Structure 1
């Protein structure tokens, strides 16, 4: 039931209106009465009625004053002005305040019923809208963690397209211009460490989220293998160096917290502050490369500290791009040779730290995986992360690169095959019509030039030769059936000019269609 407040200084008016409404809309309303404006305001605040019928002229606080007071506290209140005075100024002022209707005393039953029906419809629609909004908010609250996981995994595992990143970032309302990554790498050098981590990794994940998100406003990735990542926005207006110090302090806080609470050794790597989502991905790879091990000076390491102390960056962007170019050309030999040179350089720069070497190599291969838009980053981290010596790491990486090239080739061939199959089906359906190569190319969303080359490569025929062969084969079948004239067959197989059809047929079969028909008829006599 709905609640209706009737505000009028005349008791008979209130009771008469209630009686009228009860009679025409039984079991629909509970009624509240107010004898003046002050009481109407009090009841509206205390009871929050669904609808209010407000008389204009009452002692003390006038009806419009009461409307103004109620609407100031509840702008969505559904109020109808009821008055015996047919003054346009009242209606105008009431509408300006936001009232939903205007009834002139004595109002007829039909007018009152129409007004209430309209108010109820509005109320129900707003209720549905509120419920839909709440349901949507509930769904979004459930989807937000999944979207955050997906976005962070895209940045970690390289399985990313720019539009997907932007869509997820928009869903999460992330507007980061700059940021950096922090990688937490959990030790599993001994069987005991491995078993301990497996038992508590879910608790570790929740603990890191509870600690990091409120303090760093960051995204927290799921645990992938034995690692997880934090993607942290760079606060505007702060010097980069001071932020580096802050990030190291937080890295140490997290490390101490995890080791003390869960007895799981942890090393932390932190990447440079970079712009955009591509920059965040590069920062992640930097953090991955410098995850510390016990043989180093500290267990929390910043990429900028390491490169400054080495005096150079081990692998340049140009080196990475040349290696990626060889990979995208499917050149296994060039890819292997370029990778081996970079591997030797990395090995020489990290002679005493195999974990650091492993991090560098995995980071490099993740970059290649993303550039090729193929490969499973999680599997890569898991497989090469298990390598315990340089030779195993090198051979595993070379094998992975070869497999990646094979996968790219296969995907390309499958894509070409799929395009060709769609084209052939389209031609089979349309060859009896006035079909062109340009139409077919548009259908499979390729340029005519590329489609022409691909079609000849895959079928061994030009587009025209293929369509002509289909038409001539169909014409031969129709001629042999002896049911249609040659002119009818010409039009049936897609030609508009019988003379042109005759020339094409003769070129393909060596004889004109009329002679072919005679031979076909002669053969049928002996069957």
Structure 2
């Protein structure tokens, strides 16, 4: 039921309009009456009517003044002005204020009915849109935490796909030109510590999220293995060194929160400030590499501090790219040799510190996993994080490198197989026409040279022999049916010259088409 306020200084007008509407639309409205503009404003505030029929000319506060005040407070109210012909110019002014319609006195039944039906339809549509919007907001509120988890995992697991990341960032309303990563690593050396962490893992996650998000406006990742990450935007106007100091202070605060509330040992690694989402992912790798443990002198470490104190990175960007290039070329020997050099340098820089050694290896392999789109980042972190001796770590890393190359080979073979299947399907549809290898190569978007090599490798035949075999098999089938003449069969299987067709047929089968037909027509000896 809707509430309809009728504002008119003449009681008979109000009562007559109500009676008319009750008769046309029974059980549809609750009616309110106002004898002047002041009372109309009061009732609008008290009862919040859905619709108002407002007379323009009333004593005291005029209709238009009342409309201005009501719509200023309740802009969604649907108001219809009622006017005599003498005040038609005022009716036009009311429309400019946001009034939905106007009626001329004396209002006709049909006009009143049409206006009310329009108002009801608009109200129902507005309610439907509001309900849909509320439902969408509810769904979005449930989706946002999932989107945050997905985005943070993409950054952690080196799965940065620009379009997907931008879509998730847009959904989360994130515009971060620069930022950095902070990694929290929970102790696993003592069984008691690890078991304790497993029991309160969800509570730890919620506590960090409630503490960090309001203070740092950051993304908080789910727990992966024994680690979780915060991705933190760079506040505007903060110079790099000042922000490094502040990030270390925040690292200490998070560490103290976890240790005091949950009595867990946690260490913190912080990456350098970088641009874009790809830079965030790289900052995460840096944070993983320098993440300390409970046996270290510093339990909160910043990548820039470690890089400055050691003088240089263990492996340069150029060396990373060369190792990646060896993987992409699927050269296991070169990849193994380059990793061996990297390992030797690691052993020189971190001979007695397994956690940092492990962090360097995991960081490098995450980068390679993402760049080759091979391997499972979550499984990589899980398996290598559980390793507790250097030789097993080296062997495990080498196995992952081999896995990346095997994955690339399999993907390449699948791609080739898919291309060949499309080509063979195309040839199967077109071999009765004047088809060429160049046309087929163009169809699958390969150069004729590469297509020719690929075709021979997978079918064991060159293109001409393959098409000829298809044509001859079809010719033999048609000859056996005895429906068409040999000349018609020649054209049917893609040849324009019967003599050439006959020569090809004899070369393939050892007999001419005529001889083949005669052989088929010979009566069986039985």
Q: Smaller-chain TM-score range?
A: over 0.9
Q: CA deviation at 1:173?
A: 1.1
- Which position in structure 1 is the counterpart of 2:298? 298
Matches within 5 A, 1:439-478: 444=444, 450-463=450-463, 465-478=465-478
Corresponding residue of 1:506: 503
Deviation at 1:19, TM superposition (A): 1.1
Give the aligned partner of residue 525 of structure 1. 522
Determine the structure 1 residue equivalent to 2:211. Answer: 211
Equivalence map 1:243-262=2 (5 Å)? 243-262=243-262
**CA contact under 8 A between 1:159 and 1:374: conserved in structure 2?**
no
Distance 1:60 1:361, change over 3 A: same
Q: Name the SS for the 1:80 alignment partner.
A: strand
Structure 1: gaps (5+ residues) = none
Q: Distance in 2 between matches of 1:436 and 1:401?
A: 42
Is the Cα–Cα contact under 8 Å of residues 486 and 513 in structure 1 kept in the other structure?
no
Q: For the structure 1 residues 492 and 251, does the alpha-carbon distance in structure 2 shift closer, same or farther, using more than 3 Å as the test? A: same
Map of 2:21 onto structure 1: 21
Structure 1 pair 419–312 and aligned structure 2 pair: CA distance change class (3 A): same
Q: What is the correspondence of 1:48-127 to structure 2 with a 5 Å cutoff? A: 48-85=48-85, 87-127=87-127
Q: d(CA) in 1 for partners of 2:483 and 2:498?
A: 18
Sort the Cα spacing of 1:462 and 1:87 in 2 relative to 1 into closer, same or farther, 3 A.
farther
Aligned partner of residue 330 in structure 2, secondary structure: coil
CA distance in 1, matches of 2:498, 2:229: 69
C-alpha separation in 2, matches of 1:194 and 1:355: 16
2:485 matched residue in structure 1: 485
Q: Helix, strand or coil: the match of 1:351? A: coil
Once the two structures are superposed, what CA deviation does each residue of 1:113-149 show, in whole Å capped at 9, x if it has no partner? 1111111111111111111111111111111010110
Report SS of the residue matched to 2:85.
coil
Q: Name the CA distance, whole Å, in 2 between partners of 1:523 and 1:415.
A: 44
Is the Cα contact below 8 Å between 1:506 and 1:513 reproduced in 2? Answer: no
Within 5 Å, which residues of 2 pair with 1:391-406?
Answer: 391-406=391-406
- Distance in 2 (CA, whole Å) between partners of 1:102 and 1:73 is 21
CA contact (8 A) 1:160 1:373 kept: no
Distance between the aligned counterparts of 1:112 and 1:428, measured in 2?
71
Q: Distance in 2 between matches of 1:501 and 1:513?
A: 17
Aligned Cα root-mean-square deviation (Å): 2.3
Is 2:284 the partner of 1:277?
Answer: no
Contact 2:6–2:32 (Cα < 8 Å) also in 1? yes
Cα distance in 1 between the residues matched to 2:437 and 2:113: 68
Worse-matched range after superposition: 443-452 or 482-491: 443-452
Hey, what's the Cα distance between the residues in 1 that align with 2:443 and 2:369?
31
Shift of 1:415: 2.2
Aligned CA distance change for structure 1 residues 85 and 526 (closer, same or farther; 3 Å): same
Contact 2:187–2:294 (CA<8 Å) still a contact in 1? no
Deviation at 1:515?
4.7
Deviation at 1:504, TM superposition (A): 4.5
- The alpha-carbon deviation at position 459 of structure 1 amounts to 2.1
SS of 1:103 mapped into structure 2: strand
* SS of equivalent residue, structure 2 residue 6: strand
1:365 aligns with 2:365: yes
Judge which range, 175-184 or 352-361, deviates more: 352-361
CA spacing shift, 1:415–1:519, aligned 2, 3 Å: closer
Contact map agreement 1:182 1:230 (CA 8 A) in 2: yes
In the TM superposition, 1:119-518 aligns within 5 A as 119-432=119-432, 444=444, 450-463=450-463, 465-486=465-486, 488-490=488-490, 492-493=492-493, 495=494, 499-500=496-497, 503-504=500-501, 506-510=503-507, 515-517=512-514
Deviations 1:179-238 (A, max 9, x none): 000000000101111111111111111111011111000000000000000000001111
Pair 1:466–1:110, CA change in 2 (3 A): farther
| 443 and 123 in structure 1: CA distance in 2 versus 1, 3 angstrom threshold | farther
- In 2, Cα distance between equivalents of 1:512 and 1:278: 62
Distance 1:66 1:454, change over 3 A: farther
Shift of the 487–504 alpha-carbon distance from structure 1 to 2, 3 Å rule, reads closer
Offset of 1:11 from its aligned partner?
1.0
TM-score, length of structure 2 as denominator length: 0.94
| Separation in structure 1 between the aligned mates of residue 121 and residue 438 of structure 2, nearest angstrom | 56
| Change over 3 Å in CA distance of 1:486–1:386 after alignment to 2 | same
1:377 to partner: Cα distance: 1.1
* C-alpha separation in 2, matches of 1:212 and 1:343: 36
User: How far has the Cα of 1:64 moved from its partner?
Assistant: 1.4
- Structure 2 runs not aligned, ≥5 long: none
Maintained 8 Å contact 1:38/1:60:
yes
The answer on whether the counterparts of 1:502 and 1:513 sit within 8 Å (CA) in structure 2 is: no
Give how far 1:100 is off: 1.2
Deviation at 1:470, TM superposition (A): 2.3
